[in-house]
């Protein structure tokens, strides 16, 4: 039996073939009708860890009377916002408790328990703990969703950088060997040496603060990026970015100042910043002005960060590889832009949080 579609008003609504008979799809607009209770079944069926979910308990504010009519009762439906922090609008029948969803809303509603948890996490206010942390370390606190995968590659990269640093720190001889052989030296004896050093320089750091600063950023943003990309793609992009950042520095360094010695993970991590900026608009990083701590969207945080870097490049402060930083960052933005559709298709939750419907409070 066919019934009327609440959106098109034509007799194009048919029960889902082979599925739950209480769910009907419109052949014309592909919106979906859920009879009382069947939406809850569809939601729990998609999430193994949820045994019982009553979407009505989680609905956002009531928006008023809808101009659509219930396909069963022929009375105007009621318009609700899906979640308080997610402005998808859905129609519910006040009489039979049926729910109508337009085609593009179905995925968001099915995943609404995940969205609700994620938004609660993202919209947390800064606490005195985050204030104390940033006041004493000058490092930002990150607010982002929890990764599903264990970030093995991120941990491995951190472990290798730390190992290389501490194997040189107690002994001047081995430290010199590390800098000469693993750092990137523009006057290395052969092209093969330089080719190897394009990779190894990423694991060498010049001082404890250089190491700690880089490793902290790798720690907070690497886990989400590795989760979004998969372990090996993440590692590949990280190493490739380091190579490109070094090439940028090799091309732009001032040879009259003597040969170039480049060390550090900064170029690779700058590329991770670029990726993060393109995929995690919903995340926040805290910024501290003297004693006032504020959650900032990644693009604001990185804008300020880039301005500081540009300023450094033009005033040519010695010791920091500004060209490598900016080269890595620009590469990250480019890769982030090119891979955005692929990454969002692979990570539906990240895609939904990137929609303008997601309300992030900062
Ligand atoms: Zn329709
Ligand atoms: Zn009804």
Kindly list the structural domains of the chain, giving each domain's residue range(s) and its CATH number in brackets, ordered by start: 13-109 (no CATH), 123-354 (1.20.1540.10)
18 C-alpha to ligand 1 centroid (Å): 20
Ligand showing the shortest atom-to-Cα distance for residue 74: 2
77 C-alpha to ligand 2 centroid (Å): 8
Q: Which residues contact 127 (CB under 8 A, 6 or more apart)?
A: none
Ligand showing the shortest atom-to-Cα distance for residue 3: 1
72 C-alpha to ligand 2 centroid (Å): 5
29 C-alpha to ligand 2 centroid (Å): 20
Low-confidence ranges of the chain (pLDDT < 50): none
74 C-alpha to ligand 2 centroid (Å): 7
Residue pair 261/315 in contact (Cβ under 8 Å)? The answer is no
23 C-alpha to ligand 1 centroid (Å): 14
Ligand showing the shortest atom-to-Cα distance for residue 31: 1
End-to-end CA, the chain: 50
Joined together, the tokens standing for residue 17 give 């073939």
Buried b (16+ CB within 10 A) or exposed e, 105-143: bbebbbbbbbbbebbeebbeebeeebbebbeeeebbbbb
- Please give the Cα distance from 321 to 234 (Å, whole number): 23
108 C-alpha to ligand 2 centroid (Å): 22
350 C-alpha to ligand 2 centroid (Å): 34
Which DSSP category does 206 fall into? S
CA atoms in the 13 A half-sphere facing the CB of 47: 19
Ligand showing the shortest atom-to-Cα distance for residue 101: 1
- Please give the Cα distance from 34 to 92 (Å, whole number): 9
- Please give the Cα distance from 296 to 293 (Å, whole number): 10
User: For ligand 2, a single-atom ion, which residues have Cβ within 5 Å?
Assistant: 70, 72-73, 93, 95-96, 98
- Please give the Cα distance from 125 to 92 (Å, whole number): 32
Ligand showing the shortest atom-to-Cα distance for residue 94: 2
Q: In terms of DSSP H, where are the helices of 170-230? A: 172-181, 191-200, 208-229
CA 23 to chain centre: 34
In whole angstroms, how far apart are CA 247 and each of 86, 93, 220, 265, 301?
44, 62, 26, 14, 26
315 C-alpha to ligand 2 centroid (Å): 69
pLDDT value at residue 52: 86
4 C-alpha to ligand 1 centroid (Å): 8
Which DSSP category does 328 fall into? H
pLDDT value at residue 318: 59
Question: Angle 310-316-321 (CA atoms, 0-180°, nearest 5)?
Answer: 75
């Amino acid at each position: 039996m066919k019934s009327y579609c609440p959106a098109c008003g034509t007799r194009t609504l048919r029960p889902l073939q082979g599925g739950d008979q209480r769910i009907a799809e419109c052949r014309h607009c592909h919106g979906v009708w859920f009879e009382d209770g069947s939406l809850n079944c569809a939601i729990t069926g998609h999430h193994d860890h949820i045994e019982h979910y009553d979407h009505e308990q989680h609905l956002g504010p009531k928006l008023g009377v809808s101009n659509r009519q219930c396909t069963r009762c022929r009375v105007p439906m009621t318009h609700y916002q899906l979640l308080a922090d997610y402005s998808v609008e859905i129609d519910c029948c006040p009489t039979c408790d049926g729910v109508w969803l337009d085609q593009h809303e179905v995925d968001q509603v099915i995943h609404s328990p995940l969205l609700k948890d994620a938004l609660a996490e993202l919209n947390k206010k800064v606490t005195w703990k985050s204030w104390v942390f940033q006041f004493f370390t000058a490092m930002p606190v990150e607010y982002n969703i929890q990764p599903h995968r264990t970030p093995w590659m991120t941990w491995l990269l951190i472990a290798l950088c730390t190992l290389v640093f501490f194997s040189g720190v107690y002994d001047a001889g081995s430290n010199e060997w590390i800098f000469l052989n693993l750092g990137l030296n523009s006057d290395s004896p052969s092209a093969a040496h330089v080719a190897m050093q394009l990779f190894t320089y990423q694991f060498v750091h010049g001082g404890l603060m250089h190491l700690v600063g880089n490793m902290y950023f790798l720690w907070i943003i690497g886990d989400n990026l590795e989760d979004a990309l998969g372990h090996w793609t993440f590692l590949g992009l990280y190493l490739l970015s380091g190579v490109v950042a070094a090439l940028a520095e090799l091309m732009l360094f001032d040879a009259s100042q003597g040969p170039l010695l480049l060390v550090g993970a900064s170029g690779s991590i700058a590329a991770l910043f670029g990726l993060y900026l393109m995929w995690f608009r919903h995340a926040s990083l805290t910024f501290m002005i003297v004693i006032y701590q504020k959650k900032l969207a990644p693009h604001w945080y990185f804008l300020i960060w880039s301005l500081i870097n540009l300023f450094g490049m033009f005033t040519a402060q010695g010791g920091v590889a500004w060209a490598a930083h900016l080269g890595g960052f620009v590469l990250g933005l480019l890769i982030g832009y090119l891979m955005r559709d692929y990454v969002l298709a692979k990570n539906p939750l990240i895609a939904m949080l990137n929609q303008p419907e997601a309300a992030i409070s900062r």
